[in-house]
Amino acid sequence: MRKAILTSQVWRAVFRRPLPRSPREQKQAARNNFFLHLHPATLPRQRLRLTTTFCMGGISFLLFIILTVTGLLLMFYYRPTTAFAYRDMKDLEYAVTMGQFLRNLHRWAAHGMVLTVIAHMARVVYARAYKPPREFNWVVGVSLLVLTLFLSFTGYLLPWDQLAYWATSVGTNMLRAMPVLGAAGPASLVDLNTDVGFYFLGGRVIGESSLIRFYVLHVFVLPVVAIVLMMVHFWRVRKDGMLKTPL
């Protein structure tokens, strides 16, 4: 029976080869599998050491995946309107099976991702892993750090509780103070109805339109940009010869 399945045309169409046994097959495994093809076929043994990278880049990516999955599940229960947002939080807490756990995981993974991305950056600096030819990938990485912060920040408003509301107001007040483009900034060329804060909030103060704007940024715009940049980031890591051997 097992043999019949493993040799059937359907199975072979999906898994072209059996599990690799010989060294040659192992190398082909990394090259021929879509999910593994980011790896080089072989790598120096010393780079397997934990202290080479502390896994910080990989953990950041894992947390991004956890955030995507938990975020997707939360989207089934959350409505980004001032009438429902907070009520849906309470529903997650009391009515939805595992709802509180979902929200916890999303929250802690988000904090964790900010930390691991910063740690990843520090590791790259101390290893001088941004040196040529990796300069561009470093710039992509810094952009991803900024995106991580903005993703986290836009998500902060969504629970629509006092913590969310006032923390966001601290952030957007700073935006209002932007030189030239902010209404409260120096050399301002705009008023409260045309400044950068107005476009961000969809109004003069945080309200209904701010919530939907932050929501769309949080669940679609920023993640899509982050995914594109991540693809470039990983692809370049691979093309630039994977890890730099630490000095």
Partner 1 sequence: MLENAPLEAAASGEAEETEVGAARQGPDGADRVPSYPTLVFLELLAVLAVTAFFVLLSVVFDAPLEGEANSAFTPAVTKAPWYFVGLQELLVYFDPWMAGVVIPGLIVLGLMSLPFLEDSRRTGRSPTPRRSRRFGNVVFTVGLTFWFLLILVGAWFRGAGWRFVTPWSAVAAGQGQNGAAQSWSFSPLAGALVVGAYLLLVACLGWRFRGSFLPRMGRFRYVWMVSLLALMGGVFLKIALRLLWDVHYVVTTPWGSM
**Using alpha carbons only, what angle is made at residue 136 by residues 60 and 236, rounded to the nearest 5 degrees?**
60
At closest approach, how far in Å is the CB of 175 from partner 1?
7
**112 sits near partner 1 (criterion: CB under 8 A):** yes
Query: Quick one: 82 or 221, whose CB is closer to partner 1?
Result: 82
27 CB-contact burial (10 Å; exposed 0-12 / middle 13-18 / buried 19+)? middle
Q: How is residue 235 written in tokens? A: 């692809």
**7 sits near partner 1 (criterion: CB under 8 A):** no
Query: Quick one: 1 or 217, whose CB is closer to partner 1?
Result: 217
**Which residue in the set 6, 36, 216, 231 belongs to the binding site for partner 1 (CB under 8 A)?**
36
State the sign of the Cα–Cα–Cα–Cα dihedral 230, 235, 237, 240.
negative
**244 sits near partner 1 (criterion: CB under 8 A):** yes
By C-alpha distance, which of 246, 226, 222 is closest to 234?
226
Contact 148, 114 (CB under 8 A): yes
**Which residue in the set 62, 147, 225, 232 belongs to the binding site for partner 1 (CB under 8 A)?**
62
Q: How is residue 34 written in tokens? A: 């879509």
**9 sits near partner 1 (criterion: CB under 8 A):** no
Contacting range for partner 1; rule: CB under 8 A; set: 4-12, 121-129, 213-221, 224-232: 121-129
**Which residue in the set 151, 201, 206, 219 belongs to the binding site for partner 1 (CB under 8 A)?**
206
Contact 214, 171 (CB under 8 A): no
**225 sits near partner 1 (criterion: CB under 8 A):** no
